[in-house]
Amino acid sequence: MKLARPQTHRPSHGRWRARAAALAVALGAGWCALGLPAAGRGILDVETLRVAADADASVDSAQPDLALGATQALTIGHAVGPNASSTRALLRFPFTDLPGGATVVSATMTLDVIAARGGAEVALLWSPVDGTWREADVTWSTQPPAEHAYWLGLLGPELGPLAVDVTSTVIDRVAAGQSALSLAVWVAEGALDAGRTRTFASREAPPGGGAPPRLDIAYVGAGTPHPFPTATPTDRPTSTPTATGTHTPSPTDSSTSTPTATGTQTPRPTDRPTNTPTATVTQTPSPTPTTTSTFGQNQGQAWPLRPSDGVHLPQPVGGEVWVFEWRAPNHGPCLYSGAQLRLVGPGTSITRDVPGLSYVFSSSWPVAAGPWTWSVLAHCAHGPTSPSDRRAFTVAAAEPTPTATATAEGTASASATATATATATATASPSPVATEDMVYVPFAAAMSGR
């Protein structure tokens, strides 16, 4: 939780030390009031509880009636194509050991990534699920429905623990008196994330096969103040209009003599114009909604989404791809009509006009290894834009594919070395090759007028 620092005016130097001492005393009293110890010591009243999953399972749309709860891993992802199969993971964590009346402070689910297919990042989603399910027989056809999807983040091919903040959901479940947290994790649908899977260790994982899923809960016991209390609105007196002393004429007594009309001469308006200046009707324009037109002005810049800054990407060959995604400019009615994607690597520059907000890059040849950058220049009908911020990524070196020629005796001949060398040389300096999505042009060829 990020606490906002209140803005204060620093007192004059003559009074600073006295106020600092008073502030220290007040803060010490405040910590004691919250049940927190003095500085340098831990928070004594916050307890932690580690909960192991009591059920987890993968479900597969390609095998909608097959139960996969006994497997030692949980795989999520979806294949390429409009009707491709999808797999997702279900997990359940019981609240059995959470004391009654406890106030949850935080809750973090941790999954251990043990395998990854595809080097580009994938977008992960998760959602609480309604209904009961059993690990032994849950399938794609019988899985409980998801409530609403939460963005989990972009996950690359790196292995190791993945932490997910589920605090608000656990608080809601505990407050509602539910006995467990059930949720689903999956890869976002769509072509940008197709063909890449991520695998987590399940609770049935063998020793050395990864850490099983767990849920770490921090809480305070019943009757203990929350260590990080939220600011509650105070009941400030509202300016309720009070009854004014308006004179309400009381009903007159019938015995009171009703005054009769006297013969007072009431002045009548004369027909002569007085010297009172008449109000001149000034044509004051009424305030109209100010819709400042941004036509012709700078419409801002696109916002890069992925790949994340500083990631490592594989060579975009052999089924591997690079996935680029961005958002449209943030100023005015841009009327977005596409963008220019620019990739800059060691001795290489690639530019591509893209009609949408994403692009999947692949190549028939390895590209230059080392540091790369990418940026986007959006096209807006209402005006120019500025290039987006540059994002950096690193490309792995291409793995050579030696082709050795064997002799009749089964030993490698001397020509194997020459063949491998020639192949590597040809690969390092490819000719322009058209692929399904783009045309890769080596930097040297581009500079020579290609």
* 307 preceded by a cis bond (ω within 30 of 0): yes
Residue with tokens 């990418």: 374
Whether the per-residue pLDDT at 161 is higher than 60: the answer is yes
Classify strands 150-155 and 322-327 as parallel, antiparallel or unpaired: unpaired
Cβ(127)–Cβ(74) below 8 Å: no
pLDDT in tens, 274-319: 455 544 445 555 555 444 555 666 778 899 999 999 999 999 999 8
Domain spans in the chain, listed from the N-terminal domain onward: 49-220, 303-447
Residue 75 burial class via C-beta count within 10 angstroms: exposed 0-12, middle 13-18, buried 19 and up: buried
CA dist 59 → 71, 88, 147 (Å): 11, 6, 17
Give the whole-number percent of the chain exceeding pLDDT 70. 62
What tokens were used for 355?
Answer: 């009609």
Least confident of 126-135, 137-146, 237-246, 357-366: 237-246
The better pLDDT of the pair 287, 428 is held by 287
Distance CA 71, CA 198 (A): 15
User: Looking at domain 303-447, does it have CATH number 2.60.40.10?
Assistant: yes
Whether the per-residue pLDDT at 53 is higher than 50: the answer is yes
Least confident of 92-96, 300-304, 339-343: 300-304
Distance CA 27, CA 37 (A): 11
As a CATH number, domain 49-220 is: 2.60.120
Report if pTM > 0.95: no
Whether the per-residue pLDDT at 178 is higher than 80: the answer is yes
Whether the per-residue pLDDT at 407 is higher than 80: the answer is no
CA dist 5 → 2, 8, 184, 428, 436 (Å): 9, 9, 37, 55, 53
On average, the pLDDT of the chain sits at 75
Span 320-324, average pLDDT = 95
Span 324-353, average pLDDT = 89
